[in-house]
């Protein structure tokens, strides 16, 4: 199980020093005050990466916890919530909204395009009666990137709180929470941050905090209630036992990013993403997206006579490489190159493209070109 080459858009590869950190003997996170300081230091380091002075927290649970917790904490029965829908995860926010008694209203765009800012403005000019809006920064199943720098400021101008799922973007795409007026920013450990799965990251603006505090009804449940974190540092007390080994690993992964320099990290992602897209196109394949290309995921269409699922299974069987397709309904159409975090390294991308190239040709794809040479042409 451990000897195959795994390359996916999360969970990503984890650097050895992160794995080593997770293996260390730990203290009791419930009672050791030094751990509270360590936790706070880790949260503050994340805040540097996402450019915010807002309170930032690490929750014990995979990234979906953050999506549900944001909706649980903001939504009261009858609240109208705008769901910006141009991807599978974007659309899925409606389920969380309605689970807690809200009314989700879609503004939909083709899943091959970024949200059109002018379309959003026209929509809001007719109807802006929403408590908050949800938007996905990078929707992982297709890799479509939304310009949250503009979208969130537009929503704020109409008095609408913003909830941004940046799980597949933080660490690989620029995000400026304060400058872009993001009220709740959500991230996770296992994507471009390249730590182990199991942790959610949340930053909460003052406006969002007040919206939670001034609710007329109580927040349903406990684990998804974001207000339980407000006084953890003052009280030196956590709402539940924190997964300390995972947080130690995340702290080291964040240190890796800060030591490399966040601008250098973002440039590395961009350089690899651009070279990958250009290589795939010149090779003779078609990208899934029309616009809104992210620097963390590239989705490429696989010819129907081969099929993405057949290609995936063949690469695993013949080359012992697990490279993923998309979620339904695109699972047999798209192969995803998840160049994020530690996956966004030249040697790993070259290995993946070499496997894809060989497998496609084995299965009958006709081309005189090879992906690695094309990638090198555009990368160097």
Read off the pLDDT of residues 157-203 as tens digits, 9 standing for 90 and up. 999 999 999 999 999 999 999 999 999 999 999 999 999 999 999 99
Are 242 and 284 within one domain? no
SS3 6: strand
Are 187 and 239 within one domain? yes
Are 268 and 254 within one domain? no
**Residue finishing a domain among 214, 236, 259:** 259
Q: What pLDDT does 134 receive? A: 98
**Residue finishing a domain among 227, 259, 291:** 259
CB distance 226 to 202 below 8 Å = yes
Smallest Cα–Cα separation from 192: which of 60, 44, 49? Answer: 49
Are 182 and 122 within one domain? yes
Are 373 and 247 within one domain? no
CB distance 46 to 187 below 8 Å = yes
Rounded to whole angstroms, the Cα distance separating 373 from 278 reads: 12
CB distance 131 to 81 below 8 Å = yes
State the residue for tokens 């974190």. Answer: 229
Are 267 and 254 within one domain? no
Give the pLDDT confidence of 87-109 residue by residue, as tens digits.
999 999 999 999 999 999 999 99
Q: What is the mean pLDDT of residues 121-135?
A: 98
Rounded to whole angstroms, the Cα distance separating 177 from 174 reads: 10
Does the pLDDT value for residue 126 go beyond 70?
Answer: yes
Are 107 and 233 within one domain? yes
Residues 6+ away with beta carbon under 8 Å from 339: 269, 272, 273, 276, 295, 296, 297, 298, 349
Q: What pLDDT does 3 receive? A: 87
* Residue 326, domain CATH: 3.90.1150.10
Q: What is the mean pLDDT of residues 348-369?
A: 98
Instruction: Give 137's Cβ-side CA count (13 Å radius).
Output: 29
pLDDT level of residue 1 (50, 70, 90 thresholds): low
Are 71 and 199 within one domain? yes
* Count of structural domains within the chain: 2
* Residue 200, domain CATH: 3.40.640.10
Give the pLDDT confidence of 294-329 residue by residue, as tens digits.
999 999 999 999 999 999 999 999 999 999 999 999
Q: Mean pLDDT of all residues in the chain?
A: 98
Are 243 and 283 within one domain? no
The CB density around residue 187, as the number of other CB atoms within 10 Å, is: 29
CA 157, 159, 163, 164: dihedral to nearest 10 degrees?
0
Are 188 and 248 within one domain? yes
SS3 138: strand
Does the pLDDT value for residue 213 go beyond 70?
Answer: yes
**Residue finishing a domain among 197, 224, 259:** 259
Q: Which domain holds residue 203?
A: 16-259
Are 124 and 105 within one domain? yes
Q: What pLDDT does 65 receive? A: 98
Residues 6+ away with beta carbon under 8 Å from 227: 73, 209, 212, 213, 219
Q: What is the mean pLDDT of residues 123-137?
A: 98
CA 307 to each of CA 16, 208, 380: distance values in angstroms, whole numbers, following the listed order: 35, 45, 31
User: What do you get for the CA distance between the two ends of the chain, in Å?
Assistant: 34
Rounded to whole angstroms, the Cα distance separating 129 from 160 reads: 8
Are 220 and 273 within one domain? no
Q: Which two tokens stand for residue 289?
A: 């997206």
Q: What is the mean pLDDT of residues 214-241?
A: 97
User: Helices 33-50 and 244-260 sit at what angle, rounded to 10 degrees?
Assistant: 40
Q: What is the pTM of this model?
A: 0.97
Q: Give the whole-number percent of the chain exceeding pLDDT 90.
A: 99
Q: Which two tokens stand for residue 170?
A: 């933080």
Q: What is the mean pLDDT of residues 65-75?
A: 98
Q: Are strands 334-337 and 298-301 parallel, antiparallel or unpaired?
A: antiparallel
Smallest Cα–Cα separation from 265: which of 277, 253, 250? Answer: 253
Cis peptide before 11 (omega within 30 of 0): yes
Q: What pLDDT does 2 receive? A: 63
Q: Are strands 132-136 and 80-85 parallel, antiparallel or unpaired?
A: parallel
CB distance 109 to 87 below 8 Å = no
């Amino acid at each position: 199980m451990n000897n195959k080459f795994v390359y996916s858009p999360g969970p990503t590869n984890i650097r050895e020093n992160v794995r080593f950190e997770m293996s260390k003997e730990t203290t009791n996170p419930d009672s050791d005050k030094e751990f509270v300081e360590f936790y706070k230091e880790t949260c503050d380091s994340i805040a540097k990466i996402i450019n915010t002075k807002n309170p930032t927290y690490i929750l014990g649970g995979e990234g979906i916890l953050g999506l549900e917790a944001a909706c649980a904490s903001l939504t009261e029965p009858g609240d109208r919530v705008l769901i910006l829908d141009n991807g599978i995860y974007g659309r899925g926010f409606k389920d969380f909204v309605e689970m807690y008694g809200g009314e989700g209203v879609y503004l939909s765009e083709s899943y091959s395009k970024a949200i059109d800012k002018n379309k959003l403005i026209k929509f809001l000019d007719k109807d802006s009666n929403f408590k908050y809006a949800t938007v996905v920064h990078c929707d992982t199943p297709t890799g479509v990137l939304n310009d949250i720098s503009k979208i969130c400021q537009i929503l704020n101008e109409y008095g609408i709180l913003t909830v941004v799922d940046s799980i597949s973007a933080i660490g690989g795409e620029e995000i400026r929470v304060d400058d872009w007026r993001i009220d709740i920013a959500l991230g996770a450990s296992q994507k471009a941050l390249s730590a182990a799965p199991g942790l959610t990251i949340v930053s909460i603006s003052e406006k969002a905090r007040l919206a939670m505090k001034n609710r007329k009804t109580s927040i349903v449940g406990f684990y998804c209630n974001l207000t339980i974190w407000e006084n953890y540092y003052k009280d030196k007390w956590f709402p539940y036992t924190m997964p300390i080994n995972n947080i130690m690993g995340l702290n080291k992964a964040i240190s890796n990013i800060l030591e490399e320099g966040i601008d250098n990290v973002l440039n590395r992602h961009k350089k690899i993403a651009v070279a990958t897209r250009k290589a795939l196109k010149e090779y003779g394949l078609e990208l899934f997206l029309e616009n809104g290309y992210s620097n963390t995921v590239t989705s490429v269409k696989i010819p129907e006579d081969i099929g993405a699922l057949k290609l995936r299974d063949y690469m695993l069987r013949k080359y012992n490489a697990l490279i993923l397709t998309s979620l339904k309904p695109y699972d047999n159409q798209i192969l995803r190159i998840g160049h994020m975090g530690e996956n966004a390294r030249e040697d790993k991308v070259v290995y993946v493209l070499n496997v894809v190239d060989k497998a496609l040709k084995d299965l009958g794809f006709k081309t005189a070109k090879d992906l690695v040479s094309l990638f090198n042409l555009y990368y160097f």
